[in-house]
Structure 1
Amino acid sequence: MSTFGSHFRVTTYGESHCRSVGCIVDGCPPGMELSEADIQPQMTRRRPGQSAIATPRDEKDRVEIQSGTEFGVTLGTPIGMRVLNENQRPKDYGNATMDMYPRPSHADWTYLEKYGVKASSGGGRSSARETIGRVAAGAIAEKYLGLAYGVEIVAFVSSVGREFLFPPTATHPTAATNPEFLALLATVDRATVDAHQPVRCPSGEAAARMERLVGEFRDRQDSIGGTVTCVVRNVPSGLGEPCFDKLEALLAHAMLSIPATKAFELGSGFGGCQIPGSVHNDPFVKAAAAPPPTNASGPPRPRLTTKTNNSGGIQGGITNGEPVYFTVGFKPPATIGQAQHTARYDEEDGVLEAKGRHDPCVVPRAVPIVESMAALVIMDAVLAQQARERARSLLPRAET
């Protein structure tokens, strides 16, 4: 469906070439200062037309808050936001040739099979334009998480094709055991990521390699995929709802709902399957400082941390207080300029030459989308845990 979350609920609307796209956010705590200025930076990072290796569609993606605030403060009521589609060109898709073919690896055929009708231009609801609502809602969640807990969310491009920021090696089949990677997770920020435009890889040398590769595929009217890695720092411990709403399950759900995604790895990921348990296990050590009390009447509990973090900050589906990090795989964009032999809707063979404006690689623009979906997952889990802790705090302390 079009709604994500249980306590912080986000419903998105819109298609690729309709009049506007946006969302309704329900469950935002009241009393938080909020304006378009809090939301627009992430919208601008997501928007098309940013570079020569992105789609030339020229959308400014200016967000407008329609409801849920007064005098710049959240009311606790649903927050409505919209972005006008200002640079629609449905005629790029609405021609006789395009109407005859389900585009290879697009959702044209599956939407038609499911609904009996599909949008006549672009990807309709399956278009990346739908993610505008997610990014707007994610910016709200991220502001609350930052104010309440100091949560920091940073994503970056970690590979394009076979060009890697941290290539797997015999010594480090997973980046999780690479000290350079772990040091990056502890310090990387969005300014560093965005300094290496247009790829958004935090290493200038790796970004240059990736940009050259994308340019090569663009020039031959082809496309290429890649991966985005995301780290969430200062995550409260205790988040996640076993057994079926484990935090990694919710993150996987969120990330794999993003258009063009094909894979999700938490912590050590698939590379972690190649190392023994004696290396992969995360031993516990005493934390440098104890946390504040869980409630006013109770003493602070001793706090442990882990010496390593192959678990990606989650054990048993519950956050352990370490940074949460994961990687999302994106396929090559399905629309390419090359002629493709494929079947038509009438089941006859033919050749399709696709039209329209598309990215040769989506991963640079996916960075803020991944960050936003991470914010929505953490925000929903925080509100669930706050409700549990508040309910527990009203009871007399049990003898243990």
Structure 2
Amino acid sequence: MRNTFGNLFTLTTFGESHGPAIGGVVDGMPAGVDIDMDFIQSELNRRRPGQSKITTARNEPDQVEFLSGVFEGKSTGCPIGFVVRNTNQHSNDYDNMRSVFRPSHADFTYTSKYGIRDHRGGGRSSARITISRCVGGALAKLVLRKIGISITAYTSQVGDIALDRDYRKYDLSSVESNIVRCPDAEAATRMEHLISEVKADGDTIGGIITCVVKGCPVGVGEPEFGKLHAVLGAAMLGINAAKGFEIGEGFNCVTSRGSQQNDIFTSNNGKIHTTSNHSGGIQGGISNGEDIYFRVAFKPVATILQEQPTVDKDGNNATLCARGRHDPCVLPRAVPVVEAMTAMAILDYIMLNNSTAVQY
């Protein structure tokens, strides 16, 4: 099982949903960076369960403890080890899932691959594992903001309630002003009502998160097997429940002609820009200095509180009615996870770019 993300800036994670703790080790963190603990904890608070009426009722403080790599408030350049204790597990809620497979969950595939699985909350396949990603992403953000790079994700669609695809039409500073994390207040209210209705039915619903990266310099990304959009796509599709990724115009571009889709270059006092940004800030796998923007589709959460037909581990027909505390919609809590994975991917490839730059 591969548990490490990245090349130079790496995150290795450990832990299970109902184990003693979730944790990880970040390696490659530059030395001398101010470690803003309040900021890091705030990133975890954005992801934590129990934060609103439309998220799981599991009530965890998700308080991060750093074990190494930080001295007198600064990174030392050594590996940063950390843990977040699990304190509010209800493992008995999962007893009826010990021998049966939840439809569309990782239960069957984990059992088939490893011959064993932790049925309590999904174990390693639980979205709770993304805690470690948020810690790693927060550390990456601390580095990126020193070089003027910002990352903002937001809920752009829940079910059939969708914002305009153009992120420039919205005030992205307002994302945290509502529990859905949507920059359009009216749409956020409708999304909240829809999620509440779905939750009352014991069901779940999916949606889309849009992410915008501002300030990424020209030249980040490798031209062949390390294309920046491919790296971002892999990072996003590695998030629990993510099922689709598109950058720039994405699938919408297939109805356009080249004359409509091409981003025309222009020069302003010798600085080259494009007059449009259909490419999403990446051309030939390399950043071009424009905003990087992409969309990630998330499926409805697999565990629903309705009776469903399934089979047990021996292949016998069974019926499952799941218990426990589950998100009716993953989107609000997935927003900081999308940002975290983006931050780590961008920082890692900036470091790779700097390490391979030819000096004349």
- Sort the TM-score into its range (normalised by shorter chain): over 0.9
Amino acid across the alignment from 2:85: L
Task: Give the SS at the match of 2:57.
Answer: coil
Which structure 2 residues correspond to residues 51-90 of structure 1 after superposition, within 5 A? Answer: 51-90=52-91
Question: Alignment partner for residue 176 of structure 2, among 188, 194, 197?
Answer: 194
Task: Give the SS at the match of 1:100.
Answer: coil
Amino acid across the alignment from 1:161: G
Q: From the superposition, tell whether residues 72 and 8 of structure 1 become closer, same or farther in structure 2 (CA, over 3 Å).
A: same
Q: Show structure 1 runs of 4+ deviating over 3 A.
A: none
Amino acid across the alignment from 1:261: A
Gap runs ≥5 in structure 2: none
Amino acid across the alignment from 1:122: G
Q: Which TM-score applies when normalising by structure 1? A: 0.88
Amino acid across the alignment from 1:182: R
Amino acid across the alignment from 2:57: P
C-alpha distance in structure 2 between counterparts of 1:213 and 1:21, whole Å: 32
C-alpha distance in structure 2 between counterparts of 1:323 and 1:63, whole Å: 32
How much does 1:33 deviate? 1.3
Q: Deviations over 1:228-257 (max 9, x none)?
A: 000000001100012011000000010000
Q: Is the 8 A contact 2:137 2:344 kept in 1?
A: yes
Q: Is the 8 A contact 1:38 1:140 kept in 2?
A: no
Q: Is the 8 A contact 2:227 2:286 kept in 1?
A: yes
C-alpha distance in structure 2 between counterparts of 1:188 and 1:238, whole Å: 26
Task: Give the SS at the match of 1:377.
Answer: helix
Q: Is the 8 A contact 1:35 1:65 kept in 2?
A: no
| Equivalence for 2:233 | 252
Aligned length: 359
C-alpha distance in structure 1 between counterparts of 2:289 and 2:195, whole Å: 37
Q: Is the 8 A contact 1:15 1:124 kept in 2?
A: yes
1:161 aligns with 2:162: no
Q: Is the 8 A contact 2:97 2:119 kept in 1?
A: no
Worse-superposed segment, 33-42 or 245-254: 33-42
| Equivalence for 1:293 | none
Question: Alignment partner for residue 318 of structure 1, among 276, 286, 292?
Answer: 286
| Equivalence for 1:124 | 123
* Bigger-Rg structure (1/2): 1
C-alpha distance in structure 2 between counterparts of 1:359 and 1:370, whole Å: 17
Amino acid across the alignment from 2:172: V
C-alpha distance in structure 1 between counterparts of 2:232 and 2:187, whole Å: 27
| Equivalence for 1:235 | 216
Q: Which TM-score applies when normalising by structure 2? A: 0.97
How much does 1:325 deviate? 0.4
Amino acid across the alignment from 2:133: R
C-alpha distance in structure 2 between counterparts of 1:49 and 1:271, whole Å: 36
Amino acid across the alignment from 1:127: S
| Equivalence for 1:210 | 191
| Equivalence for 1:36 | 37
Which structure 2 residues correspond to residues 306-385 of structure 1 after superposition, within 5 A? Answer: 306-385=274-353
How much does 1:202 deviate? 0.3
| Equivalence for 1:298 | none
Identity of aligned residues (%): 48
How much does 1:36 deviate? 2.4
Q: Is the 8 A contact 1:36 1:65 kept in 2?
A: no
Q: Deviations over 1:139-176 (max 9, x none)?
A: 011110101x211100000000111012xxxxxxxx3x
Q: Is the 8 A contact 2:62 2:84 kept in 1?
A: yes
Amino acid across the alignment from 2:180: V
How much does 1:35 deviate? 4.2
Q: Deviations over 1:276-299 (max 9, x none)?
A: 222111101114x6xxxxxxxxxx
Task: Give the SS at the match of 1:135.
Answer: helix
Q: Is the 8 A contact 2:107 2:119 kept in 1?
A: no
